[in-house]
Amino acid sequence: MNSLGDKLVFTSFGESHGAAVGGVLDGVPSGVAIDMPLVRHELVRRSGRGAEGVSARASREPDEVEWLSGVTEKDGVLVTLGTPVAFIIRNADARPEDYEVLRHTFRPGHADFVYEAKYGIRDWRGGGRASARETAARVVAGSVVRPLLAEKGIEISAELVQVGEERDKARFEALLREIKGDGDSVGGIVSCTVTGLAAGAGEPVFDKLQARLAYAVMSINGCKGFEYGTGFEGVALRGSEIWHPGEAPSPASGGIEGGISNGLPLSFRCVFKPAATIGKLYKGRHDACIAVRAVPVVEAMTALTIADFVL
């Protein structure tokens, strides 16, 4: 369904070319100040404005948040009431004509085919519900809870660490420009670190912290894999190389043991596929590397997941 979390429940709604995308965040404590500069900053990051490798639409989207409920103004600051925080971002820049060709086409690597199969009806303009536009609501929700986490000393920071085979960040920009020039796309890997999380977050046996993080992150459009701690490359290690008596919590743990945070910094990585909407195939706005814009979304999903455990 379109809700995430147990105690802090985030419900997302909206299609890319309908009236608005938005969300309801239920379970936010009362008296929390909304950090509007942070909200706007995160939305700009998500829109990719000014960044290489993102679609042109980004620079035209204002992404203004309209708060519908759950907040009240107090001394010039928006403060939560403890009731559901609902908000929308209107879809100002719908240009369905760019998508007219998609009316009777299923794009590979998209939800077009499966939505038609599942619902029998679909908003063929730009992906509808399956569009990455929906992630704007996630970013707003994440920005609402991050000040709460910061109060507990918890900081979340993600960054792009690989584009194609390139791991040297200094070269990302040139590579993305080249790929965009080719009308092509490429994959990317995002690394995310959480510091300041005390031991104890996570629940046996199904709501292990890594399971909930994987669930949250794998729900981001285009995400194809999640790993933490020793990850996939750790398959080649011997236990005696990494586990040492007396080291508990263990440095090789990735910050989680037995599904529960152990107080060490937590870090995980996730991979995004080369986008299927590429300039060689379709008109419209396309990203050379969707991982670029996924970075703040990864942070937002991490924030919502951790907040659900620690609030």
Q: Are 220 and 304 in contact (CB under 8 A)?
A: no
Binding segment for a second copy (CB under 8 A), chosen from 37-45, 49-57, 103-111, 147-155, is 103-111
**42, 123, 299, 308: which one binds a second copy (CB under 8 A):** 123
User: Looking only at residues 12 through 31 of this chain, which bind a second copy when binding is defined by CB under 8 A?
Assistant: 12-15, 18-22, 24, 26-27, 30-31
Q: Of 137, 55, 59, 129, nearest to 98 (Cα)?
A: 55
Binding segment toward a second copy, per CB under 8 A, in 37-45, 47-55, 144-152, 218-226: 218-226
Please identify, among the stretches 45-53, 57-65, 124-132, 146-154, the one whose residues bind a second copy according to the rule CB under 8 A: 124-132
Is 26 strand, coil or helix? Answer: strand
Which residue of 33, 81, 150, 311 would you call a contact of a second copy, by CB under 8 A?
81
Angstrom distances, CA of residue 82 to CA of 5, 25, 61, 70, 87: 17, 10, 30, 7, 15
Please state the φ and ψ torsions of residue 14, each to the nearest 5 degrees: 115, 140
* Residues 177-206 close enough to bind a second copy by CB under 8 A: 179, 182, 184-189, 199-200, 202-206
| Residues in region 35-64 near a second copy by CB under 8 A | none
Identify the burial level of 152 via C-beta atoms within 10 angstroms of its C-beta, where 0-12 means exposed, 13-18 middle and 19 or more buried. Answer: middle
Stretch that binds a second copy, among 40-48, 54-62, 142-150, 244-252 (CB under 8 A): 244-252
Find out whether 134 and 63 touch, Cβ atoms under 8 Å: no
- If the CB atoms of residues 43 and 278 are measured against a second copy, the closer one turns out to be 278
Map the footprint of a second copy across residues 262-281, applying CB under 8 A: 262-263, 271-276, 278, 280-281
Pick from 92, 174, 237, 283 the residue near a second copy by CB under 8 A.
237
Please enumerate in sequence order all residues whose Cβ is within 8 A of that of 262, keeping only pairs 6 or more positions apart, or say none. Answer: 199, 248, 249, 250, 253, 255, 256
Residue placing its CB nearer to a second copy in the complex, 24 or 139: 24
Q: Smallest Cα–Cα separation from 219: which of 260, 272, 259, 275? A: 272
For residue 100, give the nearest of 180, 20, 17 by alpha carbon.
17
What minimum distance in Å lies between the beta carbon of 158 and a second copy? 16
To a second copy, the closest distance from the beta carbon of 104 in angstroms equals 12
Q: Which helix (H) or strand (E) holds 299?
A: helix 290-310
Shortest Å, Cβ 133 to a second copy: 11
CB-based contact 300:12 (threshold 8 Å): no
Nearer to a second copy, 41 or 243 (CB): 243
Query: Of 149-178, which residues contact a second copy (CB under 8 A)?
Result: 162, 164-165
Does 93 bind a second copy (CB under 8 A)? Our answer is no
Residue that is written with structure tokens 């791991």 in the block: 167
Q: CA-to-CA distance for 109 and 275, rounded, in angstroms?
A: 8
Q: Does 245 bind a second copy (CB under 8 A)?
A: yes
Among 215, 265, 284, 311, binds a second copy (CB under 8 A): 215
One-letter amino acid at 218 equals M
CB 68 within 8 A of CB 54: no
Which range touches a second copy (CB under 8 A), out of 38-46, 51-59, 107-115, 151-159? Answer: 107-115
Site size toward a second copy, by CB under 8 A:
133
